[in-house]
């Protein structure tokens, strides 16, 4: 049976270290790390994520601002808010929750964030640094950064020569994850909706990362014996066994079946989700430390 990789526990350790780091920074320089989280519209999942990001920031002792804008907010208004946050010395990290409403050009909004405050790691400058191996000075996107930490916990720090398959080619998870694995000297393949014989490809993976957003798409017999499985999916499905209208969260991997073959696997919930928020806190502290010099 696979080892369960307890992301929540690791995330708690990181948050405790960030809290200590923030206290130290304040003691040395008087600087309190500040984060602004911006949400446009009322997407329920986004609201849950944003609320937990703001809560965790307060727990870390950060100065935390939450900007909730109406669905019909125009792009110019959002860009003006970001310009204000870019200029605000009390704010070290800016996060604009995605997806944005269709009438707003999300790319333009992301590129308007000061790269030194881009704690999501989505600005071209940070994407470019990561893809050219400048990982020390890049802000690395939070979900892949957290996924790497859990991979290394399960597998040891040396991933050199291992075969990694990342399912999903998003800019938020799939592509940066592949770059991080490549920087760690793994042999990396990115699979996506057009990949042929995904099952056979997955069976080659020492490290399998699933980031597609399709409930339990990865089957137990796709897992190479002993593989490390990182399940990034957070999918809400009906749960009639819990009563009418109830739902529950599952990952992109069929967890019970995968446990038969995997060496180690992240659960959903309690795996990658808490790590994403912990890494956002770590990135914000790093941004504040850089500003403080």
Contact window for ligand GUN (CB under 6 A) among 24-32, 54-62, 91-99, 207-215: 91-99
Q: Which position among 17, 98, 125, 257 is part of the footprint of ligand GUN (CB under 6 A)?
A: 98
Nearer to ligand GUN, 21 or 121 (CB): 121
Binding-site member from 97, 179, 266, 283 for ligand GUN (CB under 6 A): 97
Q: Which is nearer to ligand GUN, 170 or 187 (CB)?
A: 170
Distances (CA, A) of 34 to 134, 162, 270, 271: 25, 39, 26, 26
List the interface residues with ligand GUN, window 217-276 (CB under 6 A).
276
Q: Give the CA radius of gyration of the chain.
A: 19
Cα 258 from Cα 182, distance rounded (Å): 25
Closer Cβ to ligand GUN, 49 or 255, answer by number = 49
Residues 109-128, one symbol each (x = binds ligand GUN by CB under 6 A, - = not), give -----------x--------
Query: What CA–CA distance (Å, rounded) separates 121 from 283?
Result: 9
Cβ neighbourhood burial of 148 (10 Å; 0-12, 13-18, 19+):
buried
* Measured torsion, CA atoms of residues 19, 21, 22, 28, in degrees rounded to the nearest 10: 150
> Given the rule CB under 6 A, which of 82-90, 94-102, 125-133, 179-187 is the region that contacts ligand GUN?
94-102
- 50 interacts with ligand GUN by CB under 6 A: no
Asked if residue 146 belongs to a known ligand binding site, the reply is no
* Neighbour order of strands in the sheet with 63-69: 63-69, 34-40, 93-96
**Residue whose CB is less far from ligand GUN, 98 or 217:** 98
Q: Can you tell me the distance from the alpha carbon of 153 to that of 142, in angstroms, rounded to the nearest whole number?
A: 17
Task: Judge whether 53 counts as a catalytic residue.
Answer: yes
Rounded to the nearest whole angstrom, what is the least distance from the CB of residue 49 to ligand GUN in the complex?
A: 7
Q: Which is the catalytic residue, given 116, 118, 120, 252?
A: 120
Q: Identify which of residues 32 and 106 has a Cβ nearer to ligand GUN in the complex.
A: 106
Q: Among this protein's residues, is 231 annotated catalytic?
A: no
Euclidean distance between the first and final Cα of the chain, in Å? Answer: 48
d(CA 204, CA 162): 10
Give the pairing type, strands 235-238 and 247-250: antiparallel
Give the whole-angstrom CA distance, residue 211 versus residue 171: 11
Query: Binding to ligand GUN by residue 142, rule CB under 6 A?
Result: yes
Interface residue with ligand GUN among 143, 179, 261, 284 (CB under 6 A) is 143
- Look up 43 and say whether it is catalytic: no
Which spans of this chain sit near ligand GUN (rule: CB under 6 A)? Answer: 95-98, 120, 142-143, 172, 276
Residues with a known catalytic role: 53, 97, 120
């Amino acid at each position: 049976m696979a080892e369960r990789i307890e992301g929540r526990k690791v995330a708690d350790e990181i948050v405790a270290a960030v809290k200590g780091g923030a206290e130290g920074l304040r003691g040395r320089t008087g600087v309190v790390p500040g984060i602004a989280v911006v949400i446009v519209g009322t997407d329920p999942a986004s609201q849950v994520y944003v609320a937990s990001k703001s809560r965790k920031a307060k727990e870390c002792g950060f100065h935390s601002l939450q900007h909730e804008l109406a669905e019909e907010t125009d792009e110019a208004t959002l860009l003006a808010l970001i310009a204000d946050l870019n200029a605000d010395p009390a704010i070290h990290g800016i996060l604009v929750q995605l997806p944005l409403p269709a009438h707003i050009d999300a790319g333009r909004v992301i590129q308007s964030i000061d790269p030194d405050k881009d704690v999501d790691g989505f600005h071209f400058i940070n994407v470019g640094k990561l893809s050219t191996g400048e990982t020390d000075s890049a802000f690395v996107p939070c979900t892949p950064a957290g996924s790497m930490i859990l991979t290394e916990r399960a597998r040891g720090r040396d991933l050199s020569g291992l075969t990694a398959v990342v399912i999903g080619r998003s800019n938020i998870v799939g592509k940066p994850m592949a770059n991080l694995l490549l920087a760690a000297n793994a042999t990396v393949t990115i699979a996506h909706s057009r990949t042929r014989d995904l099952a056979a490809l997955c069976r080659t993976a020492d490290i399998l990362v699933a980031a597609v957003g399709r409930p339990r798409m990865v089957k137990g017999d796709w897992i190479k014996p002993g593989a490390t499985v990182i399940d990034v999916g957070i999918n809400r499905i009906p749960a009639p066994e819990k009563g009418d209208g109830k739902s529950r969260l599952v990952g992109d991997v069929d967890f019970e079946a995968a446990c038969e073959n995997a060496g180690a696997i992240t659960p959903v919930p309690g795996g990658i989700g808490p790590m994403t928020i912990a890494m956002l806190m770590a990135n914000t502290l790093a941004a504040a430390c850089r500003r403080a010099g």
